[in-house]
Structure 1
Amino acid sequence: MAPIASTADLRLSGLSAREILRHCTPAGPWQQLLPGVVLQKPSPPTRLDRLRAVQFFAGPDSVITGADALSRQGARLALPRHIHVLTGKDVRRAHPSILCERTIRPPAIVEHQGLRLAGPARAALDMARRETNPRAVVGILDAVLDARLCSPNDLHEELQRCSRRGTALVRQALRHLHPAEGSLPAG
């Protein structure tokens, strides 16, 4: 049995809503991680459990991006409290521990441990464009490049395709770190 399940799937498997609630009481063997998402073990959730729960919550086409996607692929980055997830433009989900970002441009997917992760260049830019500290932006880009997850050219190409919102510091950092990789228009 998978440790993460939606309450809808549990209902389809024959459990009643009352049985699910009983299993999720403080004395029960399960716990509700997010609305409609259950962890079927009593121990505290791991980060992987939380990531899987977020994907159940955000829907089957959702994609983990940012720090979690990058760290799962090998970059050394501190993980924030929230989990950044990309969803389709029509998905309207919200939760305080999740940064749900709707997109009309789904990223390339990297499958890892049953998770759908954004490719490194997209995940790095999704994370970096939310930063207001120039040193933090440089740190993100350095972590991705040091881990050899993508090249500076991959970052430049992704930057050309993404929304310009929040990219001024990223553009500046890339021009400073890798000026020979091609010129970017000021943003």
Structure 2
Amino acid sequence: MAPIASTTDLHKSGLSRREILRHCTPAGPWQQLLPGVVLQKPSPPTRLDRLRAVLFFAGPDSVITGADALSQQGASVPLPRHIHVLAGMNTRRSHPSILFERTTRPPEVVERNALRLAAPPRAALDLARRSTNPREVVAILDAVIDARLCSPTDLHQELDQSNRRGTALVRRALRHLYPLAPGQARLDHIRIGS
């Protein structure tokens, strides 16, 4: 039995709503992590449990981005209290522990540990553009490059394709840290457009 399940799936498997509620009482063997999402073990949830629960809650098209996506793929970045999730424009969900970002440009998805994660360039820029601290932005970009999750060119390409909102500091840091060679920007633009 999977440790994370939706109450809908549990009900379909034959458990009554009353049985599910009884299992989720303080003395029961399960716990409700989010509305409609149950952790089927009594021990405190791990970060991985929380990430899986968030994807159940956010829906089948949701993708984890930012610090958690980078950490799951091998970058050393601090994890915030909230979990950053990309969702479609029609998503109407909300929760205090989840940072929902509605997007019209779904990311490339990397599957790891039964999670849907944004590819490193997108996850790094989603995290960096929310920072107002230049040193923090530099640390994020360096962490992704140091972990060899992507190249500076990958970051430049992602930045060129992304919404410009909140990217001024990231653009400045990327140009300073990892400038493109002369002519490289033009070649990358041709490659993206072809």
TM-score by length of 2: 0.93
* Stretches of 4+ aligned residues off by more than 4 angstroms: 181-184
Tell me how far apart the structure 2 counterparts of residues 179 and 68 of structure 1 sit (CA, whole Å). 27
2:125 is matched by which residue type in structure 1? Answer: L
Q: Which residue of 2 aligns with 1:164?
A: 164
Q: Percent identity?
A: 78
**Distance in structure 2 (CA, Å) of the matches to 1:177 and 1:143:** 12
The equivalent of 1:64 in structure 2 is 64
Corresponding residue number in structure 2 for 1:46: 46
- Is the counterpart of residue 12 in structure 1 residue 24 in structure 2? no
1:65-144 aligned within 5 A: 65-144=65-144
Q: Are 1:175 and 1:183, in contact at CA under 8 Å, matched by a contact in 2?
A: no
TM-score normalised by length of structure 1: 0.96
Amino acid in structure 2 at the alignment position of 1:137: V
Superposed CA deviations along residues 139-171 of structure 1, whole A, max 9, x for unmatched, are 000000000100000000000111101000000
Q: Following TM superposition, by how much is the alpha carbon of 1:180 offset from its aligned partner in structure 2, in angstroms? A: 3.0
Q: CA deviation at 1:179?
A: 1.7
SS of the aligned residue for 2:180 comes to helix
The C-alpha deviation readout for 1:85-115, integer Å capped at 9, x for no partner, is 1111101111111001111110001000100
The alignment's C-alpha RMSD in Å is 1.1
Letter of the aligned partner of 1:156 in structure 2? H
For each residue in 1:47-73, what CA deviation from the matched residue of structure 2 results, as whole angstroms up to 9, or x when unmatched? 000000000000011100000000111
- C-alpha displacement of 1:132: 0.5
1:145 has 2:135 as partner:
no
**Once the two structures are superposed, what CA deviation does each residue of 1:7-52 show, in whole Å capped at 9, x if it has no partner?**
0101111111111110000000000000000000000000000000
| Structure 1 letter corresponding to 2:75 | A
Contact 2:128 2:170 in 1 (8 A): yes
Give the gaps of 5 or more residues in structure 1. Answer: none
Contact 2:107 2:118 survives alignment (8 Å): yes
CA contact (8 A) 1:61 1:87 kept: yes
Partners of 1:104 and 1:20 lie apart in 2 by: 36
Determine the C-alpha separation between the residues in 2 that align with 1:99 and 1:180: 32
Taking the aligned partners of 2:91 and 2:111, their CA distance within structure 1 comes to: 21
Residue 183 (structure 1) shift: 6.0
Q: How far did residue 79 of structure 1 move?
A: 0.6
CA-CA distance at 1:178 after TM superposition: 1.2
Contact 1:89 1:102 in 2 (8 A): yes
**Kept in 2: contact 1:63–1:87 (CA 8 A):** yes
